Amino acid sequence: MDHTSFLMWPLLDDVALRLADETVTYGELLLIGAATGLLEDARTETARALEALQGRQVDPSRADVRTEAVAFRQANRLQSGEDFRAWLASRQLTTAQWESHLRRSLAGRSPVEAVAAPLAPDELEAALTVDLACNGWWRKVADEAERYWAAGLLAGDGFAEPDPAPSGEVATLQMTAAQLAAALPSLGILDTRWCADRLCVLRSRQQALSEAEQRYSSDDAVAARVADHVGDWVRFVFDEIWLPTRAAASEAMLCSREDGLAPGEIASRANRRLEHHDLRRDRVPAAAAALLAGAMPGEALGPLESGDAVQVLWLCERRLPSLDDPAIRQDAVNELLAEALDRVAAGRAHVVPPL
């Protein structure tokens, strides 16, 4: 791998994972993230946050940032100042960069609609690199890399790692690799031939994962798993708006109940995003789930206070878990597959700090 180092974490030649006798570098994680769309998703989130901040549609207060900082340190078990400073140092981050990430996190979660604005490429890439270091992106991609590797193990004797890309495929794979390399943040340079070989392995493992998923998709296996989750796999389809005050939320509910305004119209008038969800009950906060469990479709529900915002909900549909529901079937398959992958990888996959 041809690597040009920058004063940013991580170095692409550093090892992030040990999978039995195989090592996975940060460069390979970056390639996997680009190939699977996870990198582009992260870039889009960072760009939206920067646009909201630059347009001053969102302007987090110092109190908001302090609250976000406390939550971040608790989530990452960085209660002591020594642990926090060590965490920053291991990722070559300054406190100012970390606080800028917190501001972008707050802006990214804001329900206010961001207005697209031109961003300087260097600014976006610098912010993205910091966000990847702070928001768990590297660990998320590492988990995906481990899943693909474990799928190859699960395939057993019938699975063989591919040889380096055949000469007939090299040009196509190198073109793909070059396109991916052009989308990478400024952390280094990946050799296109190396990328082509690793993409060949990735595609093989993705195929193994797809075949494993099919193996755990039988009607009997899925039916048994759904029966185990009759209560917590009820699905709520609902809309929600987050508003700044309880009074604003009460006004929104009044507009819905008395004036018959649709949620989308209410969101537009309040300059807030209308968020649509289709979630299992066990993935909905308890207070919201309790309201949705007893509501009539179209009924305005709330207000529910959470932090410095207030939530209003509208139930669209409530569905009992059913084998005829593709989302429920997929949940069952995902759980069965995850358990199988965990069993085959147990004790053989290790993260290398500071990932």
* Domains, the chain, ordered by start: 15-146+159-206 (no CATH), 235-319 (3.10.50.40)
Cβ distance 153 to 204 under 8 Å? no
Distance from C-alpha of 294 to C-alpha of 57, rounded to nearest angstrom: 36
Q: What is the pLDDT along the chain (355 residues), one digit of tens a residue?
A: 433 334 578 888 899 999 999 999 998 998 899 889 898 899 999 999 998 898 777 888 999 899 899 999 999 999 899 999 999 999 999 999 999 999 999 998 887 766 666 788 788 888 999 999 999 999 999 999 999 999 999 887 555 566 555 555 555 656 665 665 555 566 667 777 788 888 888 989 999 999 999 999 999 999 999 999 988 899 999 999 999 999 999 999 999 999 999 999 999 999 888 999 999 999 999 999 999 999 999 999 999 998 778 999 999 999 889 888 888 899 999 999 999 999 999 999 999 999 9
Burial class from Cβ neighbours inside 10 Å (0-12, 13-18, 19+) for residue 30 reads: buried
**Interatomic CA distance for residues 295 and 290, integer angstroms:** 9
